[in-house]
Amino acid sequence: MSRPRLYSGMQPSADSLQIGNYIGALIQWRDLQEAYEAFFSVVDLHALTQPNDPEELRQQTRRTAAQYIAAGIEPSKSTLYVQSQVPAHAQLQWVLSTMTGFGEASRMTQFKDKSHRYGADKTNVGLFTYPILMAADILLYQTDIVPVGDDQKQHVELTRDLAERFNGRYGETFRIPMPVIQRDTARIYDLQNPLAKMSKSAESDAGVVWMLDDPSVSAKKIMRAVTDSEGSVRFDKENKPGVSNLLVIYAALTGRQIPSIEDEYAGRGYGDFKKGLAEVVVEEFGPVRARALELLDDPAELDRILASNAARASEVAEKTLDDVYAKVGLLR
């Protein structure tokens, strides 16, 4: 019996993923790849919406793929590939863009934030159509579920709307995907500004823990994380956002419940708690980092794995694209 389909991806927009990507997405991906037929892409076309040095983008694409594998995504089991190596993504995006309202696309909060931050003249059209390319990613694979952090929820909802619109106009073509968002870990916050989400594009590096950083650097960042003056290790998102964020990270990486961690550190100060978390982080990411660096030592082998996975992805994607092209009236 065929397994339900899963699709997700990340932008290769930095030399390393940050632990929000790991906790908000990669852990779920790894756990779900058994029960689902999974497709994981490195979305390099999406990354072109930001200024890039070409050689750096190529490196970051490999580095992102290596981190997927190091985190436990198995390229023999799941289809792990680079978006631009499957041309159907850009092709389907064009068709979907002709069915997306200008107002509808203008309402995407991530676009609004970014265009507001950079100003209209520095905002490229690719940033505007970015969610439509994401819809194409998902719909090409007849996806059932899309595990993401909560910042991507609106994009998955647009994807559902576009799929329903297309199906309504041309007959059953796309499966309607469901976003899957882990309530507790959907948003990991910046260690220096626990009201902002941790992000690869954060202005300051001090609050971002990178998966590929030297463990001692990550440990230092945790020791310096912003907390509060109360001194008790207690989850209270509203009044203690810094400590609560650290508790969420601790729980996610150990598989423990927050109350059991609160108990362990009851009556002890933040110093002890941070030291404990730093140890957890070093233990978790030490082996992941070592494995990723080992994979990056042999880029030819990595490229070979990615190419064969892209061929597998293409087979599925081409079928959907062909159906779409025929339905909208393109001469086959």
Catalytic amino acids? 114, 197, 200
Q: Which of 60, 227 has the CB closer to ligand TYM? A: 60
Q: Does 187 bind ligand TYM (CB under 6 A)?
A: yes
Q: Pick the stretch among 147-155, 221-229, 275-283, 299-307 that binds ligand TYM (CB under 6 A).
A: 147-155
Q: Does 276 bind ligand TYM (CB under 6 A)?
A: no
When binding is defined by CB under 6 A, the residue of 5, 6, 16, 24 that contacts ligand TYM is 24
Q: Does 245 bind ligand TYM (CB under 6 A)?
A: no
Q: CA 278, 279, 280, 286: dihedral to nearest 10 degrees? A: 100
Compute the distance between CA of residue 5 and CA of residue 282 in angstroms, rounded to an integer: 33
Q: Does 96 bind ligand TYM (CB under 6 A)?
A: no
**Residue 104 contacts residue 152 (beta carbons within 8 Å):** no
Q: Which SS3 state, helix, strand or coil, does residue 314 take?
A: helix
Show Cβ contacts of residue 217 under 8 Å, excluding neighbours closer than 6 positions: 210
When binding is defined by CB under 6 A, the residue of 100, 152, 309, 314 that contacts ligand TYM is 152
Compute the distance between CA of residue 19 and CA of residue 295 in angstroms, rounded to an integer: 20
Q: Does 9 bind ligand TYM (CB under 6 A)?
A: yes
* Residue numbers 106-135 binding ligand TYM by CB under 6 A: 134
**Residue 16 contacts residue 67 (beta carbons within 8 Å):** yes
Q: Does 289 bind ligand TYM (CB under 6 A)?
A: no
Compute the distance between CA of residue 228 and CA of residue 101 in angstroms, rounded to an integer: 45
23 closest CA partner among 244, 234, 185? 185
Q: Does 198 bind ligand TYM (CB under 6 A)?
A: yes
DSSP 8-state secondary structure symbol assigned to residue 84: G
Query: How many helices (H) and strands (E) in the chain?
Result: 14, 5
Q: Does 316 bind ligand TYM (CB under 6 A)?
A: no
Kindly write out the interface string for residues 40-69 of this chain, putting x where it contacts ligand TYM by CB under 6 A and - elsewhere.
Answer: ---x--x-----------------------
Q: Pick the stretch among 30-38, 48-56, 193-201, 317-325 that binds ligand TYM (CB under 6 A).
A: 193-201
The residue with tokens 């906790």 is 23
Positions touching ligand TYM (CB under 6 A) are 7-11, 20-21, 24-25, 43, 46, 134, 137-138, 146, 148-149, 151-152, 186-188, 197-199
